[in-house]
Structures are given as C-alpha cells and as structure tokens.
Amino acid sequence: MLIITVLLLCLSNLLFIILFLHQRKIRQELFTIRKNVEELRVRTNAFDEYAERKLLKEKRAHLFLLVYQIREAVAKQQKDLHPGIIDTTPRSHQLKDSELIQMLNSDELIIIQKYFSAYNRYIEGQWLNSKGKMKTIFRGRPQDLQSELGQLHHTSKLLTQQLDDWIFQLNSFS
C-alpha cells in the first residue's frame, strides 16, 4: 500500500511537472503570438499610412487633370461652339474639404476654389438657359460682342486667360 501511495505521489508530482512545463511552453507561445500580432499591427498601420499618402497623391493628380480638362473645354469655345464638351466636363471635383486640406497648401486651395467657382459662373452665365438646361444654339455673329455668340467667344477667351494664370500659379507651387 505504501508503494502505491509513493507511486501515486510520484505520479502526481510528475504530472504536476509536466503540466507546469506545458503551461510554461503555452505562455511562451502566447507571448510570441502577441508579439507577432503587435508587429502586424505596426506594419498594417504603416501600410495604411502609405496607402493613404498614395491615395491622396492620386486624388491630387485627378484634381489637376480636371483643372486641365476644364481649361481645354473653355478654350475650345473661343472660336467654335462645342456644347458636348461643356456638357460632359465636370463642374465639381467631388472631393471633401478635409481631403483638399490634406492635398493642397492654403494658396493652392484658394486657387482651386476660385477656379471651380469661375468655371461654374461661366457655365451658369453663358451656357444655361432660364430653365437651367444647356444651350446648344447661340444667336448672332462671333465678331459681334453684343450677340450671344460673340459674348460666349469673348467670355471664353477671358476665362481661358484667367484659368491659364491660375494653372501657372498652381504649377509654381509644385
């Protein structure tokens, strides 16, 4: 009986040692897993920041493409009518103010606001009828500044010059 008791005691001590070693191994593995998770979190945050910077850079490039697209649309109206181009040219950049603030310095931001504001005034003043629909027919002769057509060509010329000045200023910041 004593032998059985000693054996049971040894067996329980052995079991305790095995459990202790196993628990220690599990703690080490858990520590390693936590460390790996933290490293992944840091890498993910770094990648997210990188992706956000790249996305803002792409949005900035898109904004400048819109600027050039608007300029070209207005410039084409100096000599001939191209209502289809005006109709398909976006009137807004569709960017949030918070995105613009991250992408542009304060001077660029002011120019972009002026740029789109001037373009929208041009559309409303020259291209939209009283019902808010796009005009396709303009009365008069191109040389007559009192006629609709003459005013459109003249206003397009003046606006193109202003847009070019703003584009030059935007490019000087880059």
Q: Is 34 exposed, middle or buried (0-12, 13-18, 19+ CB in 10 A)?
A: exposed
> Mean pLDDT, the chain, as a whole number?
92
Asked if the structure places residue 90 within a domain, the reply is yes
Q: Which domain holds residue 75?
A: 62-173
Which amino acid makes up residue 95? L
Asked if the structure places residue 23 within a domain, the reply is no
Question: Is the Cα torsion angle 88, 151, 109, 166 positive or negative in sign?
Answer: positive
DSSP annotation of 76 reads G
Overall domain count for the chain: 1
Please tell me whether the overall predicted TM-score, pTM, comes out greater than 0.85 for this model.
no
Asked if the structure places residue 56 within a domain, the reply is no
The token duo for 169 is 């200023």
Using pLDDT thresholds of 50, 70 and 90, give the confidence band for residue 90. very high
Q: Tell me which of 5-14, 82-91, 116-125, 147-156 is least confident.
A: 5-14
Asked if the structure places residue 156 within a domain, the reply is yes
Asked if the structure places residue 3 within a domain, the reply is no
- What is the largest distance, in Å, between two alpha-carbon atoms of the chain? 125
Asked if the structure places residue 161 within a domain, the reply is yes
Asked if the structure places residue 94 within a domain, the reply is yes
Interatomic CA distance for residues 151 and 8, integer angstroms: 107
**128 - beta bridge partners?**
134
Using pLDDT thresholds of 50, 70 and 90, give the confidence band for residue 33. confident
Asked if the structure places residue 166 within a domain, the reply is yes
pLDDT number for residue 125: 95
Interatomic CA distance for residues 63 and 94, integer angstroms: 9
Tens digit of each residue's pLDDT (9 = 90 or more) over 101-154: 999 999 999 999 999 999 999 999 999 999 999 998 899 998 889 999 999 999
Residue 19 has pLDDT above 80, yes or no: yes
Tens digit of each residue's pLDDT (9 = 90 or more) over 52-72: 999 999 999 999 999 999 999
